[in-house]
Structure 1
Amino acid sequence: MKLFDSRENPALSSVLIIIGLFLINFLFLGSIIQLIAMVSVGASLENIMESGGNFNKLPNAWLGMILGQGFGSLVGFIGTAWLYWRIIEKKSWEAFNFSKLPHIQVFGMVILIEITFMGFNGFLQEINQGIVFPEVLKGLEEVLKGMEDKLAETTKFFTDFTSFWQFLVAFIVIAVIAGIGEELVFRGLIMRKILLGTNNPHIAIWVSALIFAAIHFQFYGILPRMMLGVLFGYFYFWTGNIWVPIFAHIFNNGLAVTIMYLHNIGIVKTDLESMDNVPLTIIGFSLLATIGLLFLLRNYTLQNKQ
């Protein structure tokens, strides 16, 4: 499927502009938004300065941090997509789609693929976390593990809640806003621009997935996150509709938030960390079933287009 037209800006310069806009919006403006959010829920500037960037102990820390994350994602991802697509290229939001919204069966297949893929992706997570650097790079390994520990601490803080209103806020921020914004940037913009430059959908899908994973700054989660990006990329390429990978992304993140919430209130006993230790039989079944379902989805979408 052709995901670009002759009136679009060149591929390489476009990708660089998109990434530049994202870094400015998410890292610079996002940091300012986070500070404003902390002040708005009761923290003083003196408290913030004394925290050294560790906001967990500040007044109403959870609410301030989740609001900062939410508005930061709005500016960083959706704001980047709006600035580039609507202002620079002057295109409509509808131009992200090259086919009409597919039948509901497609969304059902997407859910089934994502659930089936969890076993193999848990195996990839194990591999990723078990990477050991050579002695000459031990310093880099320590830095990356330090970043990983800090991100894990932040994630635990965000998801360690038992009230339903916190669950709803977390679901909106982590699943809905992130799902829409990240797919607009990484699939709707970056993937299509790489396709414009290479005219090879597989290169576009895999490279954009690698950028998607790398830009989260989490080395020990880069492999499973990249493979999710690959899935989202093929969903977009086969269906030609940006709402399909957006739905897949929201479902993936939303399921994780829901499992964490249900675990916190004692309804389910399994937490996400225990899902990394997957038996080999389940890994094999997960991989084979995912490949089979992907072929079914591809054939189904092609037949409906014809």
Structure 2
Amino acid sequence: MNSLKHNNPQILHKNPWTSIFYLVLLFLAWNLFSQLIGTGIAVLATGVDFMESQKLLEPPFSPKSKIFMYVAQGLSHFLGFTLFTLFFIKTIDRMSWKSYINKKNLAVQPSILIVLSTFSFMIFNSIIIEWNMNVEFPEFLRGFGEWARNMEDRLMELTELFSSYGSFGEMLIALFIIGILPAVGEELVFRGLLQTKLQTATKNAHLAIWISAIIFGAFHMQFFGVVPRILLGALFGYIYLYSGNIWYPILAHFVNNGLAVVVMYVGPKYIDDFDASEVDTAVPIYVSIIGLFSCLIFFRYFMRLMKGAAEE
């Protein structure tokens, strides 16, 4: 099954490499502009000037730091990904949104299989996360390694701030900003637009999936988490390839992000010595292998369901 045979005709009459060039160029410029808008509105929401706002992102954090992060990240992500995709489809590709974002409902059984596949893959991926976090650089790359580690530590502090919830309502806000917005926006860009165009350009679905996944992993600018993100991107890519329905990788992406939010909320309530930094700690290797095989089994059933639905 090929996602291009479904509801993604937006590039059929265009040079795919030219379309990819415009996509990357506009996406980078649009994201920079979106971050400026998000930061500007967050400055207004917190009542501080622009220079003082930078202090909100440095420890020690204040209550305003979290408000600033919620507003800035939520707005910049919505503008930079979801709104960008809608603009690109309508203005650059000159296609209707309906022809791209198909209206197929998420069927119950395939959706359950996607949830189980993603959860199983997360179990397997924990061992990759731990390995990637402990990569040691050779001496000639020590400077880069120190820079990457410092950035990782700073992002970890911001993540812990962003993932500490004082109430159920705040957890729902975080679930929207961390779970829903990235799931929708990033899948529209990386799978819906980029992967589809790369598949047309290269005539190779697997190559398109892995190139998109590598770009997806690199975009997050966290070297010590890049490999597990690439693998996740590949999983989302194959879900899109065999379903032809962008809502299935969106669901998988939401499960991956949303589960972390829920764990961060529930963990401190029921575990006395809960440590947010240990959430991604690797499970025993045999459990990781079981997770991988479970994912493959669930995904195989998902593929069969998608093939059967396509033949009806």
Asked if these proteins are the same fold (TM beyond 0.5), I'd say yes
Q: Does 1:148 align with 2:152?
A: yes
Letter in 1 for 2:117: I
Aligned to 1:93: 97
Deviation at 1:281, TM superposition (A): 1.2
Distance 1:158 1:300 in 2: 38
Aligned to 2:255: 251
SS at match of 1:7: coil
Deviation at 1:168, TM superposition (A): 1.2
Distance 2:120 2:114 in 1: 10
Greater Cα shift, 288-297 or 272-281: 272-281
Aligned to 2:49: 44
SS at match of 2:41: helix
SS at match of 1:276: coil
Assess if the C-alpha contact under 8 Å between 1:41 and 1:64 holds in 2: yes
**Cα 1:239–1:52, aligned 2, differ >3 Å: closer, same or farther?**
closer
Aligned to 2:299: 294
TM-score calculated relative to the size of structure 2: 0.90
Distance 1:212 1:155 in 2: 19
**Cα 1:115–1:48, aligned 2, differ >3 Å: closer, same or farther?**
closer
Assess if the C-alpha contact under 8 Å between 1:194 and 1:204 holds in 2: yes
Distance 1:304 1:229 in 2: 24
SS at match of 1:141: helix
SS at match of 1:60: helix
Match of 2:228 among 212, 220, 224: 224
Match of 1:103 among 88, 96, 107: 107
**Cα 1:98–1:25, aligned 2, differ >3 Å: closer, same or farther?**
closer
SS at match of 1:160: coil
* CA deviation vs aligned residue, 1:181-222 (integer Å, no higher than 9, x gap): 001000110000000101111111111111111111111111
Assess if the C-alpha contact under 8 Å between 2:160 and 2:276 holds in 1: no
Match of 1:113 among 107, 117, 135: 117
**Cα 1:19–1:148, aligned 2, differ >3 Å: closer, same or farther?**
same
Deviation at 1:144, TM superposition (A): 0.9
Distance 2:304 2:208 in 1: 20
Q: CA RMSD in A?
A: 2.2
Q: Does 1:212 align with 2:213?
A: no
Letter in 1 for 2:205: P
Assess if the C-alpha contact under 8 Å between 1:148 and 1:218 holds in 2: yes
**Cα 1:127–1:46, aligned 2, differ >3 Å: closer, same or farther?**
closer
Q: Does 1:122 align with 2:126?
A: yes
Greater Cα shift, 37-46 or 128-137: 37-46
1:163-202 map, 5 Å:
163-202=167-206
Letter in 2 for 1:177: L
Letter in 1 for 2:125: N
Letter in 2 for 1:230: A
**Cα 1:14–1:273, aligned 2, differ >3 Å: closer, same or farther?**
farther
Assess if the C-alpha contact under 8 Å between 1:235 and 1:245 holds in 2: yes
**Cα 1:20–1:281, aligned 2, differ >3 Å: closer, same or farther?**
same
TM-score calculated relative to the size of structure 1: 0.92
Aligned to 2:34: 29
**Cα 1:168–1:267, aligned 2, differ >3 Å: closer, same or farther?**
farther
SS at match of 1:265: helix
Deviation at 1:92, TM superposition (A): 1.7
Distance 1:70 1:131 in 2: 31
Aligned to 1:7: 12
Match of 2:25 among 7, 10, 20: 20
Match of 1:61 among 52, 65, 71: 65
Assess if the C-alpha contact under 8 Å between 1:213 and 1:222 holds in 2: yes
Aligned to 1:76: 80
Distance 1:185 1:114 in 2: 20
Give unpaired runs (5+ residues) of structure 2: none
Assess if the C-alpha contact under 8 Å between 2:106 and 2:247 holds in 1: no
Distance 2:29 2:164 in 1: 30
**Cα 1:57–1:97, aligned 2, differ >3 Å: closer, same or farther?**
closer
